[in-house]
Amino acid sequence: MAAETDPFGVPEQRKQSRLGSGKGGALALLVLVSLGCTASRPPAATAPPKEHPRALGSWANGVVFYEVFVRSFQDSNGDGKGDLPGLISRLDYLNDGKPETSSDLGVDALWLMPVFASPSYHGYDTTDYERVNPDYGTNEDLTRLCTEAHRRGMHVIVDLVVNHTSNQHPWFIDSASSPDSPKRDWYVWSPTDLGWAQPWNAAGSSWHKKNGAYYYGLFWAGMPDLNLRTPAVRAEAKRIAEFWLARGVDGFRLDAARHLIETGPGDGQSDSAETHAFWKEFAAYVRSVRPDAVLVGEAWTETPKIAPYYGATDVVPRGDQLALNFDFPLAKQVVQGVNMGEALGIAQTLREIADAYPPGATDVPFLTNHDMRRVASVFKGDPGKLRSAAAVLLTLPGTPFLYYGEEIGLLNGTADGDEAKRTPMPWNGTAGGGFTTGKPWYRFAPGQETTNVAAQTGDPRSLLSHYRQWIRARHASPALSRGGIRVISGQGPVLAFVRTQGQERVLLIHNLGSEPQAVSLEVEGARAEPLLATDGASGTREGGTVHATLPPYASAALKL
């Protein structure tokens, strides 16, 4: 099969398949996609493995990431704010470094939301790139976190915000002090208000008055944009990256990756050629310092505009710009598809990815993140939908990311602000939730008394156990962790696809709907052996056909 010989390409021959279903039946939609991955889970060692002297982050392809808002994960000193020592104390929950155990979640890598000095709770307005936020601990605590994570076989990446700083950063204070300041061109200044609206808000201005001139700040006045046309600023961004890579960090999540260098209003505020050129330059420098470091881009846009952020995959494996890029369109379709019980949007997006992404690109699927309404709130806490979304996410190609608390069905808080998307992690049902002995910096989300880690630990039917099962199935299967994909059903409530890596092929069948489904699929192979089936799903082979029965929201993984 083409996907076996060319795991990064799109097979030319598209085989016909047949799908029969129960209520809400579907006509099979055949989509051939291949998104390559080349590694599964890093070994329990401090030094990450290397695959290619020019390839960024070879270890990251196919692993499972976990996004952490440090302020909300675990408090170690009773001040109500999560911190790095607290996170270290919870590492065994995430991965205990013992493959033979099943009591940990089993994730392979952590993404820490901003941990550098900042005047805000969220940290995206940095005031010192070389110092950990005192609320979270010290630089030594971050190094110790990396060491402890590496010892358990996990990697750690941190948010690096190079698009803008805080308006309280010493660089900006200096820049704003005078047109003759040596750092004047470290930011973007104009003698007049150029009147550029924010791309997503026609009523929001991007130019802000200060000391008789106007500076550019895309997001708001408190976050002035750095001028990355200035060589000294570009050099400083590289130096900061090297500073943290030398202290144990394994890479960076890159905020606002589309908006670094603007050429004018409107479309000129996103995806400029100069922005792509900077990422190519930055990635080359990171490769020269740490070839195994990984760069993850946040380009919140549509598939055709995300694809160029990989760069040239024929020059550098997986791309000479950003080796990983969050797949916002696929996240939308997975959540919407599960919520509506309709697989078509997911299948169409997978086809779009195959057409747009360069050969060898590694996709980054996820459900929600810190800027989005939590998936449990979208589903109104529906346990079947939560289980279905988890199973789909963890069987897709690429490098999936989980948002902390997703694995227990954590809801949004009751307010409308971003803080309500980033509430404290409920470890148990007590007043402090096991998160703090003091007063939490923000109130827990509704349902904390029952939606917590302690309540779900040891319950084989819990959502937490469900996540653990699928993560372990992914680790156990080269096809699931790093194989290509061929979608054979993508209409109606049934999503079915085959993942292939080398000689291993795994058939995944997901019932996204609230009614049972009886499915017949024509697939190659002499046998169909269960890898994992949830919620009573079952499958058998008769000749060239696999017959499966799937209760509502059930999933099955069958080795062919």
Q: Residue 193's closest CA among 206, 184, 174?
A: 206
Q: Could you identify the residue written with the tokens 């409530």?
A: 493
Is 148 an annotated catalytic residue?
A: no
Task: State the catalytic residue, choosing from 298, 320, 363, 406.
Answer: 298
The rounded distance, in Å, linking the Cα atoms of 375 and 339 is 10
3-state secondary structure 107-149: CCEEEECCCEECCCCCCCCCCEEEEECCCCCCHHHHHHHHHHH
CB neighbour list of residue 556: distance below 8 Å, 6 or more residues apart: 507, 508, 509, 530, 532, 533, 534, 537, 538, 539, 548, 550
Is 128 an annotated catalytic residue?
A: no
Q: Are 146 and 247 in contact (CB under 8 A)?
A: yes
Task: State the catalytic residue, choosing from 67, 96, 255, 407.
Answer: 255
Q: Is 240 exposed, middle or buried (0-12, 13-18, 19+ CB in 10 A)?
A: middle
The rounded distance, in Å, linking the Cα atoms of 243 and 158 is 13
Half-sphere exposure of 249 (CA within 13 A, CB side): 26
Q: Residue 337's closest CA among 350, 354, 355, 356?
A: 350
The rounded distance, in Å, linking the Cα atoms of 126 and 282 is 19
The rounded distance, in Å, linking the Cα atoms of 443 and 421 is 11
Q: Are 94 and 104 in contact (CB under 8 A)?
A: yes
Which residues are known to be catalytic?
Answer: 255, 298
